[in-house]
């Protein structure tokens, strides 16, 4: 089964258009978007992007016969999760993947978009990585999106203690029946593999994700979140036991991965888009 994996497009319609062009030209059967799909710059802009751009965009996948799997990421407001899912479910070949297990093409696909806590204010999808998690230095108070506007959380650390950790959320996922034919799409990369390196050299991946993949050994895991990591570390794929972990990154060039699940051969592509 041929796939195209892309992540962290943040509403860049040029990259979205090129994704579909490449998928059509390459004979891809499924496109996976690994999160942070919507533009930054305000709540109304994200809602308009879902209904004004993604809805007709998804209709083109449905018409082409290509599956599209995706979920919103940590920069995408949670108040729009239901809107996003309603739009996806209007099209038989478009699937919202967050915290779901699907079977397509003889493979099982599992999505996960919670991330370990980060220092930035928006905390819609932030969790402690595990019970022993050490919080990074915070830049301001925490914010959660709400229908009436952004909700400020004065004591984020105490509030985060009331939420399930990333490790606990991973254990709640529906388990594939055959891990050797399972693909996990997890927005945050695992720690310890060079897929999580920031521009300052910090390694900010999830130990919980690393431990989960090491224990369960799916055939493939797809990640994003740290846009610059492959350029900084020089690493975009790494083996964790029998699991191949891929993190293509996303900077000024359009970056994506093409691959085939039967051969387990993958190619990372960077190209300029106009």
Q: How many domains does the chain have?
A: 1
Structural domain that includes position 25: 2-271
Q: How far apart are CA 197 and CA 220, in angstroms?
A: 20
Determine contact, residues 189/235, Cβ cutoff 8 Å. no
- Per-residue confidence (pLDDT) for residue 262, from 0 to 100: 98
- Per-residue confidence (pLDDT) for residue 257, from 0 to 100: 98
Q: Residue 13 sits in a domain of what CATH number?
A: 3.60.21.10
Spatial CB neighbours of 135, under 8 Å, sequence gap ≥ 6 = 117, 128, 157, 160
Q: How far apart are CA 107 and CA 27, in angstroms?
A: 18
- Per-residue confidence (pLDDT) for residue 274, from 0 to 100: 80
- Per-residue confidence (pLDDT) for residue 42, from 0 to 100: 78
- Per-residue confidence (pLDDT) for residue 43, from 0 to 100: 86
- Per-residue confidence (pLDDT) for residue 177, from 0 to 100: 96
Give the pair of three-digit tokens for residue 239. 């083996």
Give every residue of the chain whose pLDDT is below 50, as ranges. none
Q: How far apart are CA 164 and CA 162, in angstroms?
A: 7
User: Bridge-partner residues for 152, per DSSP?
Assistant: 143
- Per-residue confidence (pLDDT) for residue 11, from 0 to 100: 98
């Amino acid at each position: 089964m041929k796939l195209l994996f892309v992540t962290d497009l943040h509403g860049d319609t040029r990259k979205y258009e090129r994704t579909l062009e490449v998928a059509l030209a390459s004979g891809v059967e499924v496109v996976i978007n690994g999160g942070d799909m919507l533009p930054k710059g305000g709540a109304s802009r994200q809602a308009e992007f879902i209904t004004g751009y993604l809805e007709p965009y998804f209709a083109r996948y449905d018409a082409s016969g290509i599956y599209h799997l995706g979920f919103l990421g940590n920069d995408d407001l949670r108040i729009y999760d239901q809107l996003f899912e309603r739009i996806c479910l209007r099209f038989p070949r478009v699937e919202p993947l967050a915290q779901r297990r699907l079977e397509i093409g003889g493979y099982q696909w599992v999505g996960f978009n919670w991330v370990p806590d980060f220092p930035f204010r928006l905390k819609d999808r932030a969790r402690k990585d595990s019970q022993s998690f050490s919080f990074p230095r915070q830049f301001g108070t925490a914010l959660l999106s709400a229908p009436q506007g952004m909700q400020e959380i004065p004591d984020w650390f105490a509030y985060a203690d009331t939420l399930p950790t990333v490790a606990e959320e991973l254990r709640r996922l529906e388990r594939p029946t055959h891990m050797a034919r399972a693909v996990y799409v997890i927005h945050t990369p695992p720690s310890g593999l060079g897929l999580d390196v920031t521009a300052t050299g910090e390694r900010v991946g999830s130990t919980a994700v690393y431990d989960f993949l090491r224990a369960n050994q799916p055939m493939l895991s797809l990640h994003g979140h740290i846009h610059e990591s492959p350029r900084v570390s020089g690493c975009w794929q790494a083996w964790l036991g029998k699991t191949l972990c891929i993190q293509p990154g996303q900077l000024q060039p359009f970056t994506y991965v093409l691959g085939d699940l039967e051969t387990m051969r993958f190619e990372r592509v960077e190209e300029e888009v106009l």
